[in-house]
Amino acid sequence: MSVFKAATSERYATFPLLRRLVVDEALVHWPRYVAALVLMAIMAGATAFSAYLLGTMINAAYVEKNYREIVAIGVLAMLIFVVKAFATYGSAVMVSWIGNRIVADNQRRMFDKLLQEDIGFFADRHSSEFISRLTTGAQSVSSVINVLITAAGRDFMSLIGLTFVMVTEDPIMSLSAVVIAPPALLLMRKLVRRVRGIARMQFTGGTRIIETMQEAIQGLRMIKAFGLEDEMRRRLDTSVASVEHESNKMARVANRSAPMMEIFAGFTISLAIIYGGYRVIDTGATPGQFFSFLAAFLLAYEPAKRLARLNLDLNNNLVGVRVLYEVIDSPPGEPDDDDKPPLALSAARLEFDDVRFSYRAGTPVLRGMSFAVERDKVTALVGASGGGKSTVLNLILRFYDVDSGRILIDGQNIADVSRHSLRRQIAYVGQIVHLFRGTIRDNIALGKLGASEAEIVAAAKAAHAHDFILDFPLGYDTPVGEHGLQLSGGQRQRIAIARALIKDAPIILLDEATASLDSESERMVQDAIAELCKGRTTLVIAHRLSTIMHADSILVVEGGLIVESGRHEELLCKNGRYASFYRLQLKEQSDVREPIAAV
């Protein structure tokens, strides 16, 4: 499913990943770490001290029968718990703060990464895989850090403190507690490998669920129109069932250690009780020693169990960290090239020189295309579907780079100038209009950040959008909905044209800009485009005759080549490809008109 680098490489092994996490992500926040660790040390001390205090209390009550001491111990215990309460609160806040910061850092990094990808990036993979990696990954990074700090801080230090109490109270008995460790660790080692495999499967399945959901959301219209509900349900079902299955497997494997651990612990505790009783009865140890030891042992049990599971929990979460780093580490498709010289425009003359290009190796789309587009002229690309017209615009915008040949603007090869400087000089209206979430005003203003209200209205008027915008009750504040779905196709198109107009760029690329307009609005938009094109270099792709007829030059694209070029009348005289194309369209138009005329 994924084309990201497989996670098996050395780089993504447990230890290098942990080192990277601790050095890259964590060390920058070291003051908070130190604070968290200090607070955890206080917690650990308080826990160990309370075990010790229990013994003292029992001796005071049962052996010495000293009432004043008991009260003093009671007050002390209260104080210990107050200290522990604040330390617990403080360390939890610190650890969360670090975790949240790491999540935020990674979200920013992933988004930067996304912006640096080329247009072809998502042709090979589903867009939600990216989102899924981001959410799982960022969360996992913070979980791993959390597990690490908690283990190193609270659990490890508690264990040291409690061991100290145990050893001081009863050194021999403490040895028996150590016996439990080797078999427990051995058991854990075996489980780690399996947990890693299952966690990966869970992630893959989870991604598939999100993909299916996202597709269903975007294609809801089609699903309903074609009655595809059951088919979509079936697709989701397969992924959901597999994730459920993997999760159950995870539950079984990850918890497999629990019964063994409990049995080991029960065995040790029963030994401690018998031996401790023997010490009190036969060798004259105080009951306080016995109870302190037992309390310390019982309190040590939970942190010890968590430490034993540490590797397991880490590996479970590291799967998420790996999927994140795989994306962050993959080389960007469109690395920053701002160090290249900027495009210097004078006449804005655009030229294709024997350009060859293919999206996939072995299937050439452009096969040696050469033409020039002059300033103050409208050049139109026409031709059958799939001929490579939109590809020409993709290459001018450097969404893709040419395989061979050159694209020149004022004599500069666009491959040698920075992408930003190139794109800044181009206003583009794509074949599929994309509007962003927000209002109509927001969307027009995206063409020129910081545009004034007057500029926005002027652009909308020029694109013949002003009138329909004012017809909405909210006017320019009308929300367009996700992808602009709350507007009609023609309205979306005119807003996209306004967005291009406001950019006021010297080069204009229009891909079927008038495709979804009725004849009346099309004529208005044509006027707008004619106005827009004055003094600029314009390349327009259109199927409608009206656009084609007024163009200064028409290039007929077929099979990735320019097969004819000239003005409308010249091409008609030639009686070649263009002429037959034209006649076909005329016929289509009259076919449409006749029945209407007959009514």
Torsion, Cα 423 425 431 437, to 10 degrees, reads: 70
Of the two residues 257 and 538, which places its CB atom closer to Mg ion in the complex? 538
What's the closest the beta carbon of residue 567 comes to ligand ATP, in angstroms?
Answer: 21
Minimum CB separation of residue 43 from ligand ATP in Å reads: 57
Tokens at 50, concatenated: 């309370």
Tokens representing 582 are 């034209």
CB of 394 to ligand ATP, least distance (A): 7
Contact pick of 225, 339, 385, 450 for ligand ATP (by CB under 6 A)? 385
The owner of tokens 């008038």 is: 514
Q: Tell me: does residue 359 bind ligand ATP (CB under 6 A).
A: yes
Per CB under 5 A, the segment of 70-78, 168-176, 428-436, 464-472 that binds Mg ion is 428-436
Chosen residue from 239, 286, 289, 391 binding ligand ATP by CB under 6 A: 391
Q: How far apart are CA 317 and CA 268, in angstroms?
A: 31
Structure tokens at 188: 């854990």
551's tokens: 């163009």
Indicate the residue among 110 and 497 with the shorter CB distance to Mg ion: 497
Restricting to residues 140-169, name those near ligand ATP by CB under 6 A.
Answer: none
What is the side-by-side strand order in the sheet with 350-360?
363-373, 350-360, 404-409, 412-413
Interacting residue with ligand ATP among 68, 221, 360, 534 (CB under 6 A):
360
Token digits for 331? 């080389």
Number of chain residues interacting with ligand ATP (CB under 6 A): 12
With CB cut-offs between 5 and 8 Å by kind, which of Mg ion, ligand ATP, none does residue 8 bind?
none
Q: Considering the rule CB under 6 A, would residue 389 count as an interface residue with ligand ATP?
A: yes
Taking the complex as a whole, the smallest distance from the CB of residue 225 to ligand ATP amounts, in Å, to 22
Distance CA 34, CA 36 (A): 5
Candidate segments 95-103, 267-275, 388-396, 590-598, binder of ligand ATP by CB under 6 A: 388-396
Binding of ligand ATP by 506 (CB under 6 A): no
CB 512 → ligand ATP: shortest distance, Å? Answer: 7
SS3 421: helix
Long-range (24+ apart) CB contacts under 8 A made by 119-125 are 119/394, 119/399, 119/400, 120/333, 120/359, 120/399, 120/400, 121/333, 123/359, 124/3, 125/2, 125/3
Q: Among the candidate windows 74-82, 204-212, 306-314, 431-439, which touches Mg ion by CB under 5 A?
A: 431-439
Measured at the CA of 490, the angle between CA 550 and CA 534, to 5 degrees, comes to 35
Residue 364 C-beta: closest distance to Mg ion, Å: 17
Residue 409: name its binding partner from Mg ion, ligand ATP, none (Cβ under 5 to 8 Å by kind). Answer: none
Give least dist CB 190 to Mg ion, A.
57
**Tokens, residue 568:** 């409308």
Q: Taking CB within 5 to 8 Å according to partner kind, which of Mg ion, ligand ATP, none is near residue 99?
A: none
Of 582, 570, 515, give the one whose Cα is nearest residue 542. Answer: 515
Q: Which does 303 bind (CB under 5 to 8 A by kind): ligand ATP, Mg ion, none?
A: none
Q: How far is the CB of 560 from Mg ion (least distance, A)?
A: 13
Q: Which is nearer to ligand ATP, 250 or 517 (CB)?
A: 517
How many helices (H) and strands (E) the chain has is answered by 21, 10
C-alpha distances (whole Å) from 467 to each of 16, 440, 459, 503 are 61, 13, 12, 21
Residue 59 within binding range of Mg ion, rule CB under 5 A:
no
Q: How far is residue 252 CA from its own chain's centroid? A: 31
In this complex, which beta carbon is closest to ligand ATP, that of residue 196 or of residue 389?
389
Nearer to ligand ATP, 8 or 385 (CB): 385
The single residue among 57, 243, 365, 529 that binds ligand ATP, judged by CB under 6 A, is 365
Nearest-approach distance from CB 509 to Mg ion, in angstroms = 12
| CB proximity list for 431: less than 8 A, separation 6 or greater | 390, 511, 512, 515, 541
Three-state secondary structure call for residue 511: strand
Stretch that binds Mg ion, among 273-281, 399-407, 427-435, 550-558 (CB under 5 A): 427-435
Here the tokens at position 204 are 């893959």
**Which option in Mg ion, ligand ATP, none does residue 386 bind, with CB closer than 5 to 8 A by kind?**
ligand ATP
Site string for ligand ATP, 430-469 (x = CB under 6 A): -x--------------------------------------
Our CB check for Mg ion shows the closer of 346 and 431 to be 431
* Backbone φ and ψ of 408, nearest 5°: -115, 140
**Contacts by residues 400-403 (CB-CB < 8 Å, ≥ 24 positions apart):** 400/118, 400/119, 400/120, 400/357, 400/359, 402/355, 402/356, 402/357, 402/366, 403/356, 403/357, 403/358
Taking the complex as a whole, how short is the minimal distance between the CB of residue 360 and ligand ATP, in angstroms? 6
Q: Is 333 in the site for ligand ATP (CB under 6 A)?
A: no
Q: Which is nearer to ligand ATP, 206 or 388 (CB)?
A: 388
Task: Find the part of the chain contacting ligand ATP (CB under 6 A) among 162-170, 246-254, 389-397, 498-506.
Answer: 389-397
Strands 561-566 and 553-558, sheet pairing: antiparallel
* Single residue of 158, 390, 425, 538 touching Mg ion by CB under 5 A: 390
Question: Residue 264's closest CA among 178, 193, 190, 189?
Answer: 178
The 3-state DSSP class for residue 412 equals: strand
Q: How far is the CB of 359 from ligand ATP (least distance, A)?
A: 3
Give me the residue label for tokens 């063994």. Answer: 260
Q: What is the DSSP letter of 21?
A: I
For residues 72 and 515, which CB has a smaller minimum distance to ligand ATP in the complex? Answer: 515
Shortest gap between Cβ of 119 and Mg ion (angstroms)? 14
DSSP summary character for residue 25: I
Q: Which residues form the interface with ligand ATP (CB under 6 A)? A: 123, 359-360, 365, 385-391, 431
Interaction site with Mg ion (CB under 5 A): 390, 431
